[in-house]
Amino acid sequence: MAIMHLYYQNVAANAVVDLMTDGAAGALNGRFIRRNSRCSIAIEASAAGGAEYRVFTQNRTIIERSVCDGGGTDGVYPNLNEKAVPFAVAAGEILTVEVREIAGAGTVDVMGTLLVNPG
């Protein structure tokens, strides 16, 4: 089981970032799924309606573009028990968590919690 905290501060207006490679922690090895896994993700943005996210691999879209919960506090990661979206990932896939700033008027901070549970 691996838990990853994903964070990107100040996603610029209309920018697109990958939390698995561009986040504050740099490129995460956890994006390489070695065994079939059950995953859960929770993502929050610091501004309501300020960002959307999608989760995909090189082969398929897992979660279509969805608006991030707003009102999160910068640097405080969302709780999986309250906001998790579950999904499955197959062995050999490379996970991408893409975030897009959609307000177009400034910057937004994005925090996420990702759980990868093999099996």
Tokens of 50: 């300020």
Which uninterrupted H or E stretch holds 12? none
Q: Give the whole-angstrom CA distance, residue 90 versus residue 95.
A: 10
Tokens 């996603």, located at residue: 11
- How does the average pLDDT of the chain come out, rounded? 93
Tokens of 68: 């991030």
Instruction: Name the burial class of residue 81, with classes exposed (0-12), middle (13-18) and buried (19+) by CB atoms within 10 angstroms of its CB.
Output: exposed
User: For the segment 5-38, what is each residue's pLDDT rounded down to a tens digit?
Assistant: 999 999 999 999 999 999 998 999 999 999 999 9
Percent residues over pLDDT 90 in the chain: 82
User: For the segment 74-95, what is each residue's pLDDT rounded down to a tens digit?
Assistant: 889 999 999 999 999 999 999 9
